[in-house]
Structures are given as C-alpha cells and as structure tokens.
Amino acid sequence: MKVQLENNFISDNSKECEKGCYFLLDNNNKAYLDEAKAKEAIIIDEKKARELLNIDENIKIIAITGTNGKTTSAALIYSMLLDLGYKVFLSGTRGAFCNDVQVAQKKLTTPFLLEFLYFLQIASKNHCEYFVMEASSHSIAQQRFADAKFCAKIYTNLTQDHLDYHKSFEEYARVKASFFQDDCLKIINNDAFKFTYNVKNSITYGIDNPALYSVKAYSIKDKITAIISKKDELFEISSNLCGLFNLYNILCAFACVNELTKEGKKAAQYINNFLGVKGRMQEIIHNDENRGKIIIDFAHTPDGISNVLSALATKNIICVLGAGGNRDKSKRSPMAKIASHFSKNVILTSDNPRDEEPLFIISDMLSDLDENELKNISVCIDRKEAIYKALRMQNDEIVMILGKGDESTQEIKGIKYDFSDENEVYNALEKIKLEEEKRKEKGYV
C-alpha cells in the first residue's frame, strides 16, 4: 500500500519502493527489507510514520474482538458516539467510515499497520475524538497494531472459527487472551468462554452470570427491550434489533460508551436510533403480503448460525446455507446440523468455494448428519439457483440466507465474481413474478 505525502510517499510493499521513498518496516514485511534497501528506500519505523502522517496521538482507540458480534457492536458504539455529538472513525468488515461518510471499501476485518495509520491520519484531519475498530484474531497474532495505545478493548465471545489458521481452539483462545494483558479499560463478556486476562481496569457484562453491567429484565420478542443495571443505576433501552445475541451486542456497546463518556442516560435513548448493519439480520423489503420475511445474514460459524436461527425459533424457517472453501473444515457439519435443527427446510449450497470443489464442501457438511437430520435437507450447488428455489417454495415461512451477508462477490478458483445475496433475492422475486404472470395468461391457477 502507498500513502501519499506532500512530496513523497510511504509504502509497506517493497515492490512499490523507489529511491528516496519511505518504507515502513513492521512485523509482517521484515522479509522484504533487503529489497527495499536495494531500491534505496528510506527505512522508517511506526513512530516516524506517525510523525510524517501528522497523527493526533490523543485519538481514543476502541477495539472489539470476538468470534461473533464485532461488526454490530462496533457499529453501535460508532452510532451512539455520533449521536452524542462526538466525531468518530469506524474501521471494520464493512469498510471505513469517518463521521458518517464512507472513506474506504471493504477489505480485511482489520487493516495492516500502514493502512491503520492511514485511517488514523484521516481521523486526525477530521478532528475525530474516537476511533472504533474490529480486531480479528489474525491481526492480533500478526501484531498489526504494533505500538498503538487503546483506550478500551471489548471481548464479545469465543466459539469455533479460524482453526485453519490457528490450528487448535486452544491456540485461538491464547491469541485472543494475549490482547487483554495491558492496563487499558477492558470490557469482558462474563457469560462467554473464559480465559486469563489482566484484571486491572477490567469490567464485566453479562446476562446469566453476575457482572458490573447486567440485565434486570428483558424481552426479545420481535424487538429488544431491557433494563440494564450498573450497580444502583438503571437504564431503559429499546431496539429494533432482534435476538439474545443482539442484546449482548447492545450491552457491551452501551457499557463501553457509558464508561468512556459518562453519558449513559443519553446513550441509552440513542440505541433505538441504530437500525442495524447491512448484511446482519437484514430484512429484504418486498410487497408480497402472502410471502414471509426474507433475511440475509453473515453467520458462518456454528455459534453464529445458532444465534440467528434461534432468534426466530418460533417461526417456520427455510434456510439457505453454504460453507467457505479453504477454511476450517471441522465447523462444516456442525453448521448443517444446527440449520437442520432449527429449520423446516435447508438448502445446502455454495458460499465462497475458493479453491475447493463445492460438492466436496457440501459432502463435508453432510458427513456427520444422521438420518433424521438429513430428512429436511436438499442440495443445490449454484447459490443463485438455491436462493430462487428457497423463494419458490416459500409461503409464510421465513427464508434465511446465511453466510455471505452484504458481500458483493463470490470467490471461485481465484476469481471474484460479482455476487450479492440481496440482488439475487430481488432477481429471483422478479423471475417468480414473471413466471406467475405467464401461468395466469395460460389459464393456470
């Protein structure tokens, strides 16, 4: 990546280097130091890069990490802080946003060091007081933050994911735990998987177990209403989000904002302004009164799938589900098991197959299912056709399309093709409408 300066540039890629430019040396590009030197680049460290980029060191950086909930929690913190009148930057899976303006498209959940510093430069130029970011386990393991100082870190939960990278759940947990050993404010889910962390400046939140931020009463039917307690203080909240998992997201986001701003009463009122994140429990708008809801969601882990489907457990569900290629294979069958448990019908299909054959991925998903779990499962490898098939069989059931959320591409054999679940839903609805009109023209009921 290149970051332009007035008469020069900084790069973290030795191939981009030229005589006199700056090469930012970090934990992830040390192997290319000699190439940068050979091109007569000026080697700099993070401290010098911050000086060149004129980064405001007073910006308060908030990081959210966990298997699930990062994107929604980060977006809600961003939303509440903006509503409270602060200037805020947000970086995560959906891209980068500065004071409600998108400044970068979706890339990695957490950027590498130079892009992170570039975002901090934008935040500095726009006088941001807070910088909210998602922190992936990969970024923690690779030390992408280098010497960044955080004002708060949030732990949402830890369930099976990324074992293709970390090799074991124990190593995955160790990496997450390593992020919580400093002295900054740490906000820990006391109901989630437990690891050892630095208790200094640590607070907890939870619903089932005792915690500093707890829930005295709540309802998650259709929407969320709750009374949040912090010692003797009570805060009433209401949200159009649904599901117990989103109550946890609200709880950690509120705890963070209240601890940092001490404006909990106002922040609680602003929670209802947050309408959710595109691709996360996103309801697709249609005008067919005889058709049930159509929802797309990014859920791609056993826990994530359980969360979104259990939130609608009282409804009949038709679920479209795939699993990503070149990723943790051990989660594939559990994902299908959970989908079968909660759904009236399940259509297994492609997600991002990458370098794997979609049929082999689906075979993995089916591998540990018993005869009863297989009864409501069918296979349609083409994701476009699977979405059409689900909508074709839908009456008043809810169609849940899981795994890709608001992704705009599908990766197959190294090529990213344009593909949007939302667009394919609208295409399928239009196709079904035209088919029905033709049937009527021919006199069919």
| pLDDT tens readout for residues 82-119 | 999 999 999 999 999 999 999 998 888 899 999 999 99
167 pLDDT exceeds 90? no
Asked if residue 317 lies in contact with residue 299, where contact means CB atoms within 8 angstroms, the answer is no
Asked if residue 129 lies in contact with residue 59, where contact means CB atoms within 8 angstroms, the answer is yes
Rounded-to-integer distance, Cα 326 and Cα 340, Å: 23
- Write down the pLDDT at residue 113: 95
162 pLDDT exceeds 90? no
286 pLDDT exceeds 80? yes
- Write down the pLDDT at residue 183: 97
Return the number of other C-beta atoms located less than 10 Å from residue 133's C-beta.
27
Q: Which helix (H) or strand (E) holds 50?
A: helix 46-52
Of the candidates 221, 232, 227, the residue with the CA atom closest to the CA atom of residue 268: 227
Straight-line distance from the first to the last Cα atom of the chain, in angstroms, rounded to the nearest whole number:
59
- Write down the pLDDT at residue 445: 60
Rounded-to-integer distance, Cα 46 and Cα 65, Å: 23
Q: Which helix (H) or strand (E) holds 35?
A: helix 33-38
Rounded-to-integer distance, Cα 63 and Cα 119, Å: 14
Pick the CATH number of 2-52 from 3.40.462, 3.30.1460, 3.40.1390, 1.10.1660: 3.40.1390
| Average pLDDT score over residue span 169-177 | 91
Q: Tell me: the pLDDT tens digits for 214-267?
A: 999 999 988 999 999 999 999 999 999 999 999 999 999 999 999 999 999 999
Asked if residue 207 lies in contact with residue 247, where contact means CB atoms within 8 angstroms, the answer is yes
User: Phi-psi category of 69—alpha, beta or left, where left has phi over 0 and alpha has psi -120 to 50?
Assistant: left
Q: Tell me: the pLDDT tens digits for 322-370?
A: 999 999 999 999 999 999 999 999 999 999 999 999 999 999 999 999 9
Q: What are phi and psi of 99, to 5 degrees?
A: 50, 50
- Write down the pLDDT at residue 72: 96
The Cα-based distances of 341 to 298, 337, 369, 371 in angstroms read: 19, 6, 11, 13
Question: Which residues of the chain form CATH 3.40.1190.10?
Answer: 60-273
What would the two tokens of residue 293 be?
A: 């809801």
At the second CATH level, the architecture of 282-438 is Alpha-Beta Complex (3.90)
State the Cα angle at 314 between 313 and 317, rounded to 5°: 65
Asked if residue 319 lies in contact with residue 309, where contact means CB atoms within 8 angstroms, the answer is yes
| Identity at 237, one-letter amino acid code | I
Question: Which residues of the chain form CATH 3.90.190.20?
Answer: 282-438
Rounded-to-integer distance, Cα 40 and Cα 34, Å: 10
- Write down the pLDDT at residue 397: 95
- Write down the pLDDT at residue 441: 85
- Write down the pLDDT at residue 442: 81
| Average pLDDT score over residue span 273-289 | 92
Place of tokens 């294979």: 329
Rounded-to-integer distance, Cα 82 and Cα 80, Å: 5
Fold type of domain 60-273: UDP-N-acetylmuramoyl-L-alanine:D-glutamate ligase (3.40.1190)
| Of the ranges 49-58, 139-148, 159-168, 282-291, the best mean pLDDT one | 49-58
Asked if residue 425 lies in contact with residue 294, where contact means CB atoms within 8 angstroms, the answer is yes
State the Cα angle at 218 between 216 and 220, rounded to 5°: 160
- Write down the pLDDT at residue 10: 98
User: Residue 382: CA atoms inside 13 Å, Cβ hemisphere, count?
Assistant: 5
Question: Which residues of the chain form CATH 3.40.1390?
Answer: 2-52
The Cα-based distances of 17 to 11, 42, 119, 200 in angstroms read: 7, 9, 21, 43
Distance of CA 37 to the CA centre of its chain: 38
pLDDT band at 301 (very low <50, low <70, confident <90, very high): very high
- Write down the pLDDT at residue 443: 77
List strand residue ranges (DSSP E) for 179-277, in order.
Answer: 185-189, 202-206, 213-219, 224-230, 233-239
Who contacts 198 (Cβ-Cβ below 8 Å, separation ≥6)? 180, 181, 182, 183, 186
Who contacts 225 (Cβ-Cβ below 8 Å, separation ≥6)? 218, 219, 236, 237, 238, 239
